[in-house]
Structure 1
Amino acid sequence: MSFNHRLYAFLNDEILPQESAYLHVSDLAILRGYGIFDFFKTQEGEPLFLDDYLNRFYGSALIMGLKVPLPEEELKQTIEKLIQMNGLSDSGVKMVLTGGYSENGYDLGEPNLIILQQPLSMPSEAQLATGLKVITHEYVRDLAAAKTINYSMGIKLLQQVKARGSDDVLYHQKGVVSEFPRSNFFLVKQDETVVTPAQEILKGVTRKNVLELAGKKYSVQEGTVTLEDIAQAKEAFMTSTTKRVLPIVQIDGQPIGDGKPGSVTLELLEDLIALENRHLQK
């Protein structure tokens, strides 16, 4: 795709050139960082698992006391029209719902709905072959069950992540692991049981799919995961819309298992890709 490819965005009730889509400075997303979003990808111009993402979007809005201005079916139609106009085959689509224009900078206004689309690239073969190194940080997100626009801690920690030669940061509270800023965490025990945290997390759509796929081949557990559990694990990986399944080989400088991407992790990645392809053929 040419860099000069014109992209369109949806703002409230119209589709317009992306460079013309903007908010007033009184929006609570700008003044207070108040809002939600969700993000899904398209392959061959088709949205993947759209119903799951829309369910989470409306669920996040409910948690945050925001009303989505479009009913779900109308929102679907708007998304489909935007995808057609942008003409991107493999892309990411972001839906944002803000706190709205506030008269006093604190009270909620009428939410603004924004839909953006952008080109998307998936993890490289090198990342899959070598795996990721992560550090840990003691932190729990506010309102973790909602996909809010507040990523302050994750962005603040970027410099520390890079300074320590790592790729991401894993949150925990007193040794109990929750999630990454933009991904869910899984480990594989020595007996090949697949485990993922259940509390203080955003329940990812990819997480859901991987749990279902893993359950067909392995024992799976959703529950408490500790840093000690990771130290004893055979494998570990993260899941997200844009990362699919990415192996984690090191945490805080200590190797996980043999320090290489594990067979269970890579098999689940293959299963997820196959699931995506089947979804496209429906």
Structure 2
Amino acid sequence: MPSSPDLYAFVRGELVPLTHAYLHVSDLAIQRGYGVFDYFRIHETQPLFVEDHLDRFYESARLMQLDVPMSREALRETVLELAQRNNLELSGIKLLLTGGYSTDGYTPVPEQASLVMIQQPLTMVEQSVVDRGIRIMSHEYVREVARAKTINYTMGIRLLQRLRELGLDDVLYHQQGVVSEFPRSNFFIVRQDNTVVTPAQDMLFGITRKKVLQLASQQYPVEEGVVTLHDVWQAKEAFLTNTTKRLLPVVELDGQPIGTGKPGEVTLSLLAAFQELEQAALAKASVV
């Protein structure tokens, strides 16, 4: 991550210039890749859906047996302080919690846990990508402790070269043909009868996923359950959801088109509804 002398980060209890934001080599994030994180957008100085993200951050910490060394109220206040200090128009803040400084490089020491906040400018996905949709491949893999948002992205990073070689955009995980998630996104299909369906096992509960399920239920039948690769190829539409991409149409899987091979009307209608929800949430937060 490029360091800027104009930006600040929060590291182990202190706001410091990003150029001075470091952890000791004994930290378990470095030694063993042990930690959790969360990430949310900041519009000017206002975080989007911050309470949902804090819920998930604390739940990830619980699942990984890590104690957040700060109360929820103090954590929220520090997020706002960092956003105000950096004063970026559009950005993302990443909350990181690691096993901390360990004397043996293996055993977490609760009082040495490392809480880090990093803020960086953010560029949202271009409209041209939404207009054409993305092409993906499948790969058999299930993340360990899938309900936790851990810092272990080894498989996704290993597959980047394969994606480049094939000219594809992302990889969809499955186990014996049962779909779960992307490395950084949730997955949805739209059946021929306009039922909106998303996997319910071996995946992370995304915040955008949660909001889209609420929006979809107001217009279409909705299901959380088993989705197979066969279901994807038989679907009318497919799309992914995450913080920086909102909803992004998926038009091809493993060389086979999904539906018409173009972004579908249900996907685009939900994208429009989600953007309206964002604006309403930000407007409400700004007057609190």
TM-score (norm 1): 0.98
- Matched to 2:197, the amino acid is V
What residue in structure 2 maps to residue 144 of structure 1?
A: 146
Is 1:100 matched with 2:100? yes
For 1:24 and 1:122, the matched residues in 2 are separated by 33
Which of 213, 217, 220 does residue 215 from structure 2 map onto? 213
What residue in structure 2 maps to residue 27 of structure 1?
A: 27
- Matched to 1:222, the amino acid is E
Comparing 40-49 and 3-12, the one that deviates more: 3-12
**Helix, strand or coil at the partner of 1:281:** helix
Structure 2 counterparts to residues 35-54 of structure 1, below 5 A: 35-54=35-54
Structure 1's consecutive aligned runs of 4 or more residues displaced over 6 angstroms after TM superposition are none
Is 1:59 matched with 2:59? yes
**Equivalent pair of 2:45/2:80 in contact (CA under 8 Å):** no
- Matched to 1:87, the amino acid is N
Structure 2 counterparts to residues 81-160 of structure 1, below 5 A: 81-109=81-109, 110-160=112-162
Deviation at 1:4, TM superposition (A): 5.8
Is 1:177 matched with 2:182? no
Count of equivalent residues: 280
**Helix, strand or coil at the partner of 1:141:** coil
**Equivalent pair of 2:136/2:170 in contact (CA under 8 Å):** yes
- Matched to 2:194, the amino acid is E
For 1:106 and 1:96, the matched residues in 2 are separated by 18
- Matched to 1:79, the amino acid is V
For 2:60 and 2:4, the matched residues in 1 are separated by 34
RMSD over aligned CA atoms reads 1.0
Residue ranges of structure 1 left out of the alignment (5+ in a row): none
Percent identical: 57
Structure 2 counterparts to residues 186-201 of structure 1, below 5 A: 186-201=188-203
Comparing 10-19 and 191-200, the one that deviates more: 10-19
Deviation at 1:42, TM superposition (A): 1.2
Comparing 209-218 and 5-14, the one that deviates more: 5-14
Which of 260, 265, 268 does residue 267 from structure 2 map onto? 265
TM-score (norm 2): 0.96
**Equivalent pair of 2:4/2:18 in contact (CA under 8 Å):** no
